[in-house]
Amino acid sequence: MKATLAPSSLTCLPNPHRTTFRSSPPLWLRPSSASMSTTTARGSVAVTAAAATSLRQGIAEFYNETSGLWEEIWGDHMHHGFYDPNSSLQLSDSGHREAQIRMIEESLRFAGVNGEEEEQRIKRVVDVGCGIGGSSRYLASKFGAECIGITLSPLQAKRANDLSAAQSLSHKVSFQVADALEQPFEDGKFDLVWSMESGEHMPDKAKFVNELARVAAPGGRIIIVTWCHRNLSQGEEALQPWEQNLLDRICKTFYLPAWCSTSDYVNLLQSLSLQDIKCADWSENVAPFWPAVIRTALTWNGLFSLLRSGMKSIKGALTMPLMIEGYKKGVIKFGIITCRKPL
Ligand code: SAH
C-alpha cells in the first residue's frame, strides 16, 4: 500500500525544497556513463543484473585499493567534514578530523537523535556502507549500542574488524561483506539505520531505501547522508547536458551509477509512509573538504603514497577538482535526508 504524507510532515532545511511528483521516469533509472543501464521493451530505463554485478565488483576493488591510502592520510572516517560556512580559518589536520566527527554529530542532531531519552533508545545500529568502521565505532561508543557494519570491500571489513579489536570494541561492533540492496538482517532489527556517503553508489535507489526501511525497527531512525545532484526545477525533465557530462566523468572514477536529487529521496521515503521526513542541503557546510583533500594529496608524503597506492587512487585524485567544480556550479549537492519508521 502506498500513501503520501501530508505536506506538513515534510521539512526541508535550510532551503525548503517542497517535493513535487513528476510523471517522467525517476532520475535514478536514467543511464549514466558507466553503461549501467539498458532500455527495456516498454521503453523505460533499467539497470541490468550484469551491470549491477560489475558495479559491485568495481566498488569492492576501488575500496580494496584506496582505503589504505585514505586511512594513512585521513584516518578512519571516509566522509566529508562539517564546517562553519563563513569561517576563513585555515584548519590543521586535526581540525579536519574534528569536522568529520562534527558531521556525525550534526547528522544525529538533524535527525532528532539527541537528548538522553532518544539516545538511550539506540541499542542496535546498522552502518550501511561502513568503510573501515569509523562511524560504527563512534556510534557504538556514544550510545553503548551494538553496531554491525556492511561493506562490499573484503579489505575494508577486515581492517574495520582489526581496528575494532585493537580498540577493545569487538564485543560491540562487527563488520562483514554484504550488499546494502540485499541486507542479511531480519526485518525491524535496528533502532538506527545509518548510511554515511554510501547512497551515491547504489544503482537502485528505490531498493536501497526499501532495505533501509525494512531493517529499521518500528520507531527507528533512518539517516542518509549522500551526494546528490541539484533538484530539478518545475517542468525541467533532466539536468543540462554539461551538468550530466560533469557527473558522468565523476561516476567513472568513483564507481557511481546515475545520481538522484534529495527530492527524489524524499519521494521514495514518502512512498513508504515513513514519518518525520526531513532533508537539507549541506553543500556550503562541506565546501572546505575537497580543497583540503587535494592539499594533502599535493604534499610529498601524499604524492608518494598516491603513486604507491595505484591507478585507482591516482584517477580518484585527478577527479577531485571535478567535485569542487560540481559544488561551485550548484550541480552537486551534499544532502541529508532523515525519517522515522512508524511505530
Ligand atoms: N560510511 C563510511 C564509508 C563511506 S565510503 C564512512 O563514512 O567512513 C562508501 C562505502 O559504501 C564503502 O565502504 C563501500 O564499500 C560501501 N558500499 C557501496 N556500495 C555498497 C553496497 N551496495 N553494499 C554495501 N556497501 C556498499
Read off the pLDDT of residues 285-342 as tens digits, 9 standing for 90 and up. 999 888 888 888 777 777 777 777 777 888 888 888 999 999 999 999 999 999 999 9
Residue at 5 is within a domain: no
What is the C-alpha to C-alpha distance for residues 210 and 97, in angstroms, rounded to an integer? Answer: 32
For residue 165, give Cα distances in angstroms to 15, 97, 162, 204.
Answer: 42, 22, 5, 34
What's the predicted TM-score (pTM) here?
0.88
Residues with CB under 6 A from ligand 1: 59, 63, 77-79, 129-131, 134-135, 150-153, 156, 179-181, 196-198, 201-202
Residue at 35 is within a domain: no
The x, y and z cell numbers of residue 131, run together, are 568503510
- Cβ within 8 Å of residue 270, ≥6 positions away: 4, 5, 10, 19, 277
Between 30-39, 77-86, 222-231, 262-271, the lowest mean confidence (pLDDT) is in 30-39
Residue nearest to atom 6 of ligand 1 (CA): 78
Task: Check pLDDT > 80 for residue 154.
Answer: yes
What type of residue is 249?
A: R
- Distance from the alpha carbon of residue 234 to the mean position of ligand 1, in angstroms: 32
Residue at 44 is within a domain: no
Residue at 4 is within a domain: no
pLDDT digits (tens, 9 = 90+) for 258-283: 999 999 999 999 999 999 999 999 99
For residue 216, give Cα distances in angstroms to 142, 148, 191, 228, 273.
Answer: 19, 13, 6, 23, 13
Residue at 173 is within a domain: yes
Residue at 252 is within a domain: yes
Residue nearest to atom 16 of ligand 1 (CA): 129
- Distance from the alpha carbon of residue 129 to the mean position of ligand 1, in angstroms: 3
Phi then psi for 232, rounded to 5 degrees?
A: -75, 150
Residue at 74 is within a domain: yes
Best of 47, 201, 225 for a ligand 1 pocket test (most atoms within 8 Å of beta carbon): 201
Count of domains observed in the chain: 1
CA triple 227-34-193, angle to 5 deg = 35
- Distance from the alpha carbon of residue 258 to the mean position of ligand 1, in angstroms: 16
Alpha carbon 45 to its chain centroid, in Å, reads 23
Q: What CATH number is attached to the domain comprising 115?
A: 3.40.50.150
What is the C-alpha to C-alpha distance for residues 250 and 261, in angstroms, rounded to an integer? Answer: 16
Domain with 304 in it: 67-341
What type of residue is 268?
A: L
Residue nearest to atom 9 of ligand 1 (CA): 198
Residue at 62 is within a domain: no
Q: What is the mean pLDDT of residues 201-208?
A: 96
What is the C-alpha to C-alpha distance for residues 55 and 87, in angstroms, rounded to an integer? Answer: 38
